[in-house]
A and B are shown apart, each in its own frame.
Chain A
Amino acid sequence: MKIMDRRVILDELKKVLLPYTHNKEALNNINEQTDLIKDLKINSANLVDIIIDAENQYNIEIDMDAAEKINNVGSCIDVIIEKMASTN
């Protein structure tokens, strides 16, 4: 499989996060350290929806154990890369 560049995934994540983020400008300026709840003020209940959307985007399955590791953009990218590697 093609290992995706973390930078490409980060840009694609901006689109996944868009419907759940009030502050569109903060979303434009995210980096791997950006915290989804503290920095982007995303409602914690919506993390479930973001995971479902990311699953559909990358055709992967993110189980609950993996989902618990997600708190910032970097950990989100880690989980996506790990699941893409194990799925394909």
Chain B
Amino acid sequence: MGRRVVVTGLGVVAPNGVGVPAFLDSLKNGRSGIKFIPEYQELNFNCQVAGIPEFSMADLKGYLSEVTMHGLRDSTIGYAIKAAADAWIDAGNTLNGEEIFWETGCVFGNSIADTDSMKRVIGMVDAKLSRKLGSRMVEQLMNSGATAYISGLLGLGNRIITNSAACATGAQAVLMGYEYIKNGQAKRMVAGSNEFVDRYVFGAFDSMRILSRKFNHSPEQASRPLSASAGGFVPGSGAGALVLEDLEFALARNAVIYAEILGGESNSGGQRNGGSMTAQNPAGVNACITKALSNANVKGSDIDLIAGHLTATGADKMEIENWAGALNRYGDDFPLINSVKSMIGHCLSAAGSIEIVALVLQIMHKFVHANINLEDPNQEILKIASAGSIPTMCINKDINIAAKANFGFGDVNTCLIFSKYENNG
């Protein structure tokens, strides 16, 4: 038997909870983190609600030195540092040592660097004041800014990668981290993703008319995956991080093991046969899930829980169809399925990692969180999956094996198979 890869640390900055204890409490209680954003009303956006974590840069005191904090303004890098450092500490490590961990690397992804930083640079350069920008702008304009800060803070000496695959970014980062360990290139990987949906990115999505617009006055009801009244997604921000570890390495240092990754797959539908920039080719999704199952050496009938992508658009029904087809499970036989997005919206590149943190917490604490706002399930979806498979209340459940997938612009797919950890050699 080859190397086994386990999860030993979690960190999260989510719209409904900063830090694992707060996030876990919100998941169990079905607490929404979606709020009305007055600025979005002033900007004439159709969608005026969003999931913004209750985070300030001051929360990084204790992680970063005052010298490093001075000049660091970038929210998206801030989210990433907080989540990754929390995961590292959660895994039993400490910060600010002088050691270099040559066996530990990092894969952390995002969609775009903070446009507030870009705006600052554009304004100063256009005003012919570039000489006043100082030494700290470039690192905050780089997509790799987050991984640069994380690896420096933790002293990571293995491969350091910044990935970007739209809404599949977070799941893809975890898959890449898993594969580096599985293939023996690293013993440990800090994997995750971060996103700050600023007004510019938000505005561009708003113009596509794919955002929720009918619940601006009841923001907590605005994100409604799987429902008949689902009218678009709610953008969210944040970061999620996991410490992934070679099982033997984890056991040797007496780490607490939260869950195991059995396998996964990442592919594309080629933007053909129904696939496009904004839609998934069903054959690509099917191949991704099927290959993830075979890589993990499990069958469709083994899946206890699907942690869906489920954004609250018309694509939800297609996703359910694709899961049913790939797992060959329909109606009453369809596994339990839930969407964290009902509580936090769609955190784009950060979605996968935050949702994987949620999945690992459900495996650890033996529960399946509710799909909130599911008052009027889409009847077309209920023809494929029974109402009983879509919980609207938190239920206690011992999860053996769960599937997680995220799908992104450009017809990219990633699927991962998780299980609870059992010491069965």
Contact = CB atoms under 8 A, between A and B. Distances in A.
B42 interface: no
Contacts of A49: 71, 134-136
Interface in B66-83: 66-67, 70-71
B132 interface: yes
B273 interface: no
Contacts of B396: none
A50 to B, nearest CB: 9
Contacts of B134: 48-49, 52
B132 A20 contact: no
In which size bucket is the chain A interface?
Answer: 10 to 19
B328 interface: no
A49 B71 CA distance: 9
Contact of A19 (B66, B131, B132, B135): B66
A19 B71 CA distance: 9
A20 B132 CA distance: 17
Nearest to A19: B70
Interface string B129-143: 001101110000000
A21 interface: yes
A52 to B, nearest CB: 5
In which size bucket is the chain B interface?
Answer: 10 to 19
B65 interface: yes
A59 interface: no
B65 A20 contact: no
Contacts of A46: 67, 135
Contacts, number: 24
Interface in A1-50: 19-22, 43, 45-46, 48-49
A19 B66 CA distance: 7
A45 B67 contact: no
B71 A21 contact: no
A20 B67 contact: yes
B57 to A, nearest CB: 14
A22 B65 CA distance: 8
B70 to A, nearest CB: 4
Nearest to B69: A19
15 contacts: A19-B66, A19-B70, A20-B67, A21-B67, A22-B65, A22-B66, A22-B67, A45-B135, A46-B135, A48-B134, A49-B71, A49-B134, A49-B136, A52-B131, A52-B134
4 closest residue pairs by CB, A with B: A19-B70, A45-B135, A48-B135, A49-B134
Interface of A: 19-22, 43, 45-46, 48-49, 52, 55
Given A48-B135, A49-B136, 20 more contacts: A19-B66, A19-B67, A19-B70, A19-B71, A20-B70, A21-B67, A22-B65, A22-B67, A43-B67, A45-B135, A46-B67, A46-B135, A48-B134, A49-B71, A49-B134, A49-B135, A52-B131, A52-B132, A52-B134, A55-B132
Interface of B: 65-67, 70-71, 131-132, 134-136
